[in-house]
């Protein structure tokens, strides 16, 4: 609380003292004694008992009320009204059936379980009682025995007659003969298999604990064998540690070397030191027709010299080839077939009814990984061109126009939309820009990015090729000259 030091400040008058009226009775009861001058009465000192003086005798009234009776022998006083003598026995429990608040408890059984009765001892049964169910006379028993003997004799006679009849059905004079088939015409598939199997090989690649199996076909008698690049890519990327072997149809197994390979067509050429090999007869892609009979030969799942039959289901089917464990990144213009092709058939030939190779089996399309009738082979014209280049130079050059594209399909058009154009490439020189949708290359209609790849690969390096595209809803025709990749 603060106070003012200003002498001129106004001063408040003192508050009036309020003193309540005290009646004489209250003053006499609660007031200060007349002989006390201070505020409080001085504390009285407790009187200490003098030595040798005993305690004061208790008041007789209090001793009678709270003291121990003279005849009491226990340390604690008991209820004077409590009954004396032995404790009364506890009352019997009430009938729980008549007490609604009683708890559940188990009682004795309503009726005692009687002891099991002892069965009477009966007489022992004889043979007649057991067999016939009752006592019979001995004569009757003899008659029944004779009847059973007669039935047994009749059954034996019947069994003997039956055995003699069965024995009469066998003969030592009959000799079975088999036809050699020399007089029957040989089936078409059998003739094709006979002609082609000697030129088909199995290929095994081993790298440490990893191993792969594929197929191949002899293109030249001096030991040149064509197969898929993905069959031998493990050996090509690990030449110092991987082993590559070829097994011929007669079981001869020899090592092989890689002459060259092409990742853009998934083809490779191998060379062995074995000469005078049976060459496969090569066909022409122009002669292949949808619906004609074909035969696939190879080593599916490691089973060499396997032949399956089917037809050509479609032609010019763009199929992208790539996968884990291989550096193949190719788009082929495939021959589609429903002949059973499984892992291990890769690199083997697809053969027409005349025994000519019309393709190299390369891929299947299946959700289960096994053959479902969708197999694809590289056309023989592409195989021949790539194989010839690999044998001659060890490499293969492809035409390139310098663009990347993605498939597009809408109400307006469908084709390959240009995603980017390489600076200084043929496409930029021809005026192709990003966003253009290419719909035709040369004479081939383009409906997807994969189809654009095979269309460009079918063009010639250094030769002007017409390209039709859609730009801003308008058709535009340009000419592109592919260069070597």
Residue pair 359/387 in contact by the 8 Å Cβ criterion: no
Q: In this structure, what token pair is assigned to residue 376?
A: 């694809």
- Other CB atoms within a 10 A radius of the CB of residue 464 amount to 13
Q: Give how far Cα 77 sits from Cα of 60, 63, 83, 357, 450, Å.
A: 18, 13, 14, 128, 116
With CA atoms as reference, report the closest residue to 322 among 332, 336, 334.
332
Residues 6+ apart with CB under 8 A from 94: 102
Distance between CA atoms of residues 422 and 425, nearest Å: 5
Handedness of CA 25, 31, 37, 43 (dihedral sign): positive
Strand partners, 228: 267
Residue 398 known to be catalytic: no
Concatenating the DSSP letter of every residue in 300-355 gives GGG--SEEEEEEEEEEEEEEEE--TT----EEEEEEEE-S---TT-TT-EEEETTS
- Set 262, 266, 338, 381: catalytic member: 266
- Set 199, 215, 230, 299: catalytic member: 230
Q: Is 212 helix (H, G, I), strand (E, B) or coil?
A: strand
Q: In this structure, what token pair is assigned to residue 270?
A: 């191998």
Residue 414 known to be catalytic: no
Distance between CA atoms of residues 471 and 461, nearest Å: 26
Distance between CA atoms of residues 278 and 193, nearest Å: 13
Tokens 């027409």 found at: 352
Residue 317 φ/ψ, nearest 5 degrees:
-100, 110
Q: Kindly list the catalytic residues.
A: 230, 266, 346
């Amino acid at each position: 609380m603060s106070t003012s030091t200003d002498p001129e400040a106004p001063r408040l008058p003192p508050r009036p003292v309020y003193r309540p009226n005290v009646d004489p009775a209250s003053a006499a009861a609660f007031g200060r004694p007349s002989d006390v001058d201070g505020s409080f009465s001085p504390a009285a000192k407790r009187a200490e008992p003098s030595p040798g003086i005993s305690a004061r005798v208790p008041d007789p009234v209090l001793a009678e009320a709270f003291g121990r009776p003279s005849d009491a022998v226990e340390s604690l006083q008991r209820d004077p009204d409590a009954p004396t003598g032995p404790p009364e026995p506890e009352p019997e429990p009430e009938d729980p059936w008549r007490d609604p608040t009683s708890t559940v408890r188990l009682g004795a059984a309503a009726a005692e379980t009687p002891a099991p009765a002892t069965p009477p001892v009966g007489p022992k049964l004889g043979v007649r009682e057991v067999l016939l169910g009752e006592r019979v006379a001995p004569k009757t028993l003899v008659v029944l025995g004779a009847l059973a003997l007669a039935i047994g004799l009749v059954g034996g006679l019947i069994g003997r007659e039956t055995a003699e009849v069965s024995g009469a059905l066998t003969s030592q004079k009959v000799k079975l003969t088999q036809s050699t088939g020399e007089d029957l015409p040989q089936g078409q598939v059998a003739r094709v298999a006979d002609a082609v199997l000697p030129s088909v090989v199995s290929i095994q690649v081993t790298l440490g604990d990893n191993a792969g199996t594929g197929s191949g076909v002899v293109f030249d008698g001096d030991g040149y064998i064509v197969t898929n690049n993905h069959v031998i890519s493990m050996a090509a990327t690990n030449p110092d540690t991987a082993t590559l072997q070829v097994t011929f149809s007669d079981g001869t197994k020899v090592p092989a070397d890689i002459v060259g390979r092409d990742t853009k067509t998934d083809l490779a050429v191998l060379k062995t030191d074995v000469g005078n090999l049976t060459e496969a007869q090569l066909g022409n892609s122009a002669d292949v027709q949808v619906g004609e009979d074909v035969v696939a030969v190879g080593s599916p799942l490691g089973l060499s010299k396997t032949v399956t039959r089917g037809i050509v289901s479609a032609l010019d089917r763009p199929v992208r080839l790539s996968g884990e464990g291989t550096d193949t990144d190719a788009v082929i213009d495939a021959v589609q077939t429903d002949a059973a092709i499984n892992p291990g058939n890769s690199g083997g030939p697809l053969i027409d009814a005349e025994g000519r190779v019309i393709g190299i089996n390369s891929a299947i399309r299946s959700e289960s990984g096994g053959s479902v009738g969708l197999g694809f082979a590289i056309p023989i014209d592409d195989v021949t061109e790539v194989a010839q280049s690999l044998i001659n130079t060890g490499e293969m050059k492809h035409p390139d126009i310098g663009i990347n594209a993605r498939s597009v399909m809408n109400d307006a058009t469908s084709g390959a939309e240009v995603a980017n154009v390489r600076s200084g490439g043929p496409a930029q020189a021809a005026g192709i820009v990003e966003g253009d949708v290419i719909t035709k290359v040369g004479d081939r209609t383009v409906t997807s990015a994969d189809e654009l790849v095979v269309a460009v690969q079918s063009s010639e390096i250094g030769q002007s090729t017409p390209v039709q595209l859609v730009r801003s809803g308008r058709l535009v025709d340009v000419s592109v000259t592919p260069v070597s990749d």
